[in-house]
Amino acid sequence: MRKEAAMQTNGSYTFNFTILDVAGLLNLEVRHRGGKSIDVDCPLCGKKGKMNLNMEKNVFRCNYCNEFGGMIALYGKVMNTDNSAAYREICDALQISYSPAPRSAPVAKPMELPKETELAPVEDRDQTYRLMFSMMTLSKTHKESLMARGLSEMDIYRFGYKSTPAFGFTKLTESLINRGCRLDGIPGFYQKEGRWLPRFNSNCTGIVIPVVSIDGKIQGAQIRLDRPINNRKYIWFSSSEKDGGTGAGSPTHFIGDPADEVVYITEGPLKATVAHILSGKTFAAVAGVNQYVALEELLERLKANGTKTIVETYDMDKLENPHVENGCLKLIELCVKHGFEIKRLRWDPTYKGIDDLLYARKKKI
């Protein structure tokens, strides 16, 4: 016997199936389960654990190929069909009627979502993050790891790299508040039982990396994980989906001369800083090859400052990975739109990243 879908009085559909049902029909491999979402192998680009399925909103997003949408769209993209046909196929497979139920049909009350906070101005974020970093330490293991990438002890001190703390979370937030810092609207901080806490935990230990704006302000932070999660080496210090929390927003990192005529663009704040130190060149870094929302604002600033040329220096897997190459093409399109000359660097693929190449050259000198 077929079930029926329900329609809300505002005209939007509420289905008698969820994105988990769609994931089951598509035989998606689950890599990690959270309270509100799960990570699966992306059926569109093939990357393990890169697609996130939000169980409350019934939407998906791949953090690698940047595909996103609702659960009907997910099925349609995978099965190469339009949304209308996708809906009918899902209903057939789950024995659900195509026709919506009468408007009087009861609709399940959605789970109450955490009340997030609007992102604070960069000046406030900079103040809070700088004081937070000054209260943290860097472990010997992490220091050695950074030096193995080509950084000196002075570089490590100057750019403020620290290790995630293992304890003292309440003391940290109390100290920040007592010294005049705001925590509302600062990515990485949230409220629990009336107390402010940083979103650090024992499962996400690693090196905390400041993400700096073109004006030299710390606008966010990344964590380079000691143990990758679902093949992810880097995560944002973020408190999205937490009460009083705020998402990081994937800001663009900048290191070097804001008025340089030539600016190099790569992926990842740490990689950009290492490349800048080893080459003396000005670098900008996106959080991922397909994350360009924040980059456009930076390009506008660079254009006004007199920058003429943008040099693409993404990892050399762009030669064999179509999704990385697609990110390169999007970057080129965006740079042309803003009137820059665009150049592309390629090198011996033995060295995956531009930082690897520069460090190898330094060691040969």
CA pair distance 187, 125, nearest whole angstrom: 8
Q: Which of 236, 264, 284 is the last residue of a domain?
A: 236
Tell whether 181 is covered by a domain: yes
**Residue 46 near residue 59, CB atoms below 8 Å:** no
Q: Does residue 94 form part of some domain? A: yes
Buried b (16+ CB within 10 A) or exposed e, 311-337: bbbbbbebeebebbebbbebbbebbee
pLDDT at res. 212: 98
Domain boundary among 204, 236, 268: 236
- Average pLDDT across the chain, whole number: 87
Same domain, 261 and 209: no
d(CA 162, CA 352): 25
**pTM value?**
0.73
| Same-domain check for residues 284 and 331 | yes
Does residue 204 lie within any of the structural domains?
yes
Number of domains forming the structure of the chain: 3
Query: Does the structure show a pLDDT above 90 at 342?
Result: yes
Give dist(CA 54, CA 317) in Å, integer: 29
Summarize pLDDT for 72-108 with one digit per residue, the tens: 999 988 887 888 888 888 888 777 776 554 333 344 4
Q: Is residue 174 part of a domain?
A: yes
Q: How far apart are CA 117 and CA 107, in angstroms?
A: 28
pLDDT in tens, 230-267: 678 998 999 987 889 998 888 999 999 999 999 999 99
Domain span at residue 343 reads 254-364
State the Cα–Cα distance between residues 213 and 219, nearest whole angstrom.
Answer: 6
